[in-house]
Structure 1
Amino acid sequence: MSESTMPPPDRRPGPAERLREAVSNGRLTAALILLPPALVLFTLFVILPLGESGWYAFYDWNGYGTPEDFVGLQNFEQMFGHSVFSVAVGNTVKILVISLVVQMPLALLLALLVYRQTPTNAVFRLIFFVPYIMAEVAAGLIWSFVFDGNYGVTASIATTLGIDKFFILADRDLAFYAIMVVIVWKYFGFHMMIYIAALQGVPDDQIEAARIEGASRTQIVRHVQIPYIRPAIAVSAFFAIIGALQVFDIIIPLTNGGPSNQTHTIVTYLYEFGLTRLRIGFGSAVGVVLFIVAVLVAVFYQRLFMRKAAS
């Protein structure tokens, strides 16, 4: 092909051209109308509270009046040196691991069983999804009755088996395992719905072609369906990780962090040792650490996993 017949190279529009295009199609007007209210709300309810928390973290303050007793990094030193904080961090990590290793595979297995559009599957989806739409406090109260050694389901089991009554939520070694059971029960339906939506987008012709080639059901799942829903799995894992950092409402009605402070997570630790004891400066320090961890997790997860899943 001669130089005279070669197509002209693609030229990226300059700033002035992009501005004229934005004005002509109405995007600039929409941004000028919608962006300022969003920025104001985000500043009032996110940026300012975060900034104030970062400021309070360097004071010994009970929440009344103006913070005046500057203590520097003392709140952070007390937090990292507190044995209960170590327990809270360990429990948060346990929830994260259980969410990734138990909750997500269970949700994927159930999604593979009920993702097709049938009346029976619709009923099962509803049954599995109901725990998620239930309020966390209500779920915690229901399970506190289930685990009650005097009047709950465990009491009935003990009576039927003729053994002594046992109190799971009062046992230092078993209480947190009971909490993890409740967390898996409560949230697996959410992940299941994510997988169902993704599985319904897998082309049927790909599955049929795999069947014609002699692939088994397990091979179809492993080599056809899971690769197609990898972005959904990455999103589900992200929600599981962030959710593990935020667990609070379920633990309060179940154990309130007990027995002997063995079932605290980072958020319940903040609530118990910061807010309820009117140590707002100390609680702000815990909140700052939790915020930094959440941001780091979000940034690195986005860079390391979300892009790979989308590619």
Structure 2
Amino acid sequence: MKLNPSSKKSNRYLDKIKAEHDALNQELTPLKAELAEAEAEHAAAREKQTRLRDAAGSMSMNTPSAAKAHWPILCEANQRMERLKSKVSNLESQLRPLQQVLATPERFALARKQLDDLMAQRKALTAEVQTVDGQLTKIAKRLADLEARIAVETKSASRALLDTEAEFVAPETLTKLEMELRITRASQVELERQRDAIQGQLAGLPDAARKARDHFIHCRAAMAEIELHEQLMPVMNALARASAARRQINYHHDESRFPVEIPRDLIEAASDALAAEMPAA
């Protein structure tokens, strides 16, 4: 998967978004501090109001004069706190889309790496399975050869046993072959276990790869929009002029949008380029 060359260059659009983000954040920071102070003042005023109201006793039906006098202070503290909450919430809602844009390049790079890593893992595991399968093929041939040789040696030993009246001693060759057979079978079992384990890992990769591919595609789409804005910045004045001019002849035209028709051959070329960016399945 090839890196996009534009990702290595300074992006004026991202610089613009960063400047807007920093300006809003600079405005938000003191507001948050002021809100924290207002919340503390409101909590203190509410606690005092409760204390003044309770001073009359639980059986009293009348609100003490001190509590009545303090009530406007509590209301003012609450109004100040709510005003600040609204301002903070408004700034945070403006910051969120900017934060998403600024996080896009890193998210895109991570998504691409995750997908590349999964494809590399699948390739490595597939190669391991092929290696183990090759070893199992050799083992199977070796087992067949050993079993055939043992059959011959066993037949020869059987004849020797019948021909002798002395104590029979198993031929050393037969003993070695049987030992080798046991070792070879144990090796076969171990290789089959390894193959099953690798295939188990491979079985879980398609779902993980599908999710990683989908995530990569979404991140790439967001990154493509950033690249588009970067390319559009030099012609934005011309687009704004054309949109404003259209508004003068079409009252229903939304000045903030100006649709542009994209030639089909460019779309096809872009689709081919996007497909080429995807790692081989």
Query: Under TM normalisation by the shorter chain, which class is it?
Result: under 0.3
| Greater helix content | 2
Larger Rg: 2
